[in-house]
Structure 1
Amino acid sequence: MLTGIAFLLALVVAIPLGVRSAVRAGGASDRIASGLAVVGLSAPTFAVGLLLLYVFAYYLPIFPVYGGGSGGLDTLWHLILPAITLALGLGAIILKLTRTAMLRELETDYVTSARARGLSARSVQRIALRNAAIPIVTGASLVLTFLVGGTVLAETTFALPGLGTLLQDSVLFKDIAVVQSLTLLVAIVIAVIALLADIAYILLDPRVRERGVPA
Structure 2
Amino acid sequence: MLGYLLRRLIYAVPVAIGVSLICFLLVHIAPGDPLVAVMPIDATAEQEAEMRAVYGFDKPLPVQFGIWLGNAVQGDLGKSIATGRPVGAEVARAVANTLLLAAAASVIGFPLGLLLGFMAGYLNNTAWDRAITALAIGGVSTPNYWLGMVLVIVFSVSLGWLPSMGAGPGGSGDWSWDWAHVRHLILPAVTLAVVPMGIVMRTTRALVADILDQDFVQALEAKGMTRAGILRHVARNAAPTALSVIGLQLGYLLGGSILIETVFNWPGSGYLLSVAILQRDLPMLQGTILVLAMFFVALNLIVDLLQSVIDPRISRA
TM-score by length of 1: 0.93
Q: In the aligned structure 2, how far is the partner of 1:104 from the partner of 1:86?
A: 29
Structure 2 residue 197 is the aligned partner of structure 1 residue 71: no
8 Å Cα contact 2:164-2:187 kept in structure 1: no
Among candidates 290, 298, 314, match of residue 192 of structure 1 = 298
Deviation at 1:41?
1.1
Task: Give the corresponding residue for 1:93.
Answer: 199
Residue 110 of structure 1: which of 171, 193, 216 is its match? Answer: 216
Partner of residue 6 from structure 1, selected from 98, 101, 105:
105
Q: Does 1:25 align with 2:111?
A: no
Structure of greater relative contact order (alpha carbons < 8 Å, 6+ residues apart): 2
Cα distance in 2 for partners of 1:105, 1:19 equals 11
Could you give the per-residue CA deviations for residues 47-85 of structure 1, whole angstroms, max 9, x where no partner exists?
Answer: 111121222223332221211115223333211111110
AA in 2 matched with 1:7 = S
- Supply the distance in 1 between the matched residues of 2:298 and 2:107 (Cα, whole angstroms): 17
Stretches of structure 1 lacking an aligned partner (at least 5 in a row): none
| Structure 1 range deviating more: 71-80 or 189-198 | 71-80
Amino acid in the other structure paired with 1:185: V
TM-fit CA distance, 1:194: 0.5
- The offset of 1:154, in angstroms, is 0.8
122 and 57 in structure 1: CA distance in 2 versus 1, 3 angstrom threshold: farther
Name the counterpart of 2:150: 51
Structure-2-length-normalised TM-score: 0.64
Contact map agreement 2:149 2:263 (CA 8 A) in 1: yes
Task: Single out whichever of 74-83 and 105-114 deviates more from structure 2.
Answer: 74-83
**Which deviates more, 13-22 or 118-127?**
118-127
Q: Secondary structure at the match of 1:71?
A: coil
In the TM superposition, residue 208 of structure 1 has moved relative to its aligned partner by 2.8
1:42 is matched with 141
Residues 94-173 of structure 1 mapped to structure 2, 5 A cutoff? 94-173=200-279
Counterpart secondary structure, 1:159: coil
Over the aligned positions, Cα root-mean-square deviation in angstroms equals 1.4
Q: Which amino acid aligns with 2:102?
A: T
5+ residue gaps, structure 2, are: 1-99, 169-174
Distance in 2, Cα, partners of 1:120 & 1:57 = 49
Determine the C-alpha separation between the residues in 2 that align with 1:127 and 1:51: 41
Distance in 2 between residues matched to 1:203 and 1:58, nearest whole Å:
48
Query: How many residues in Structure 1 have an aligned counterpart in Structure 2?
Result: 211
**CA distance in 1 between partners of 2:182 and 2:300 (Å):** 27
User: Identical aligned pairs, as a percentage?
Assistant: 32
2:9 maps to none
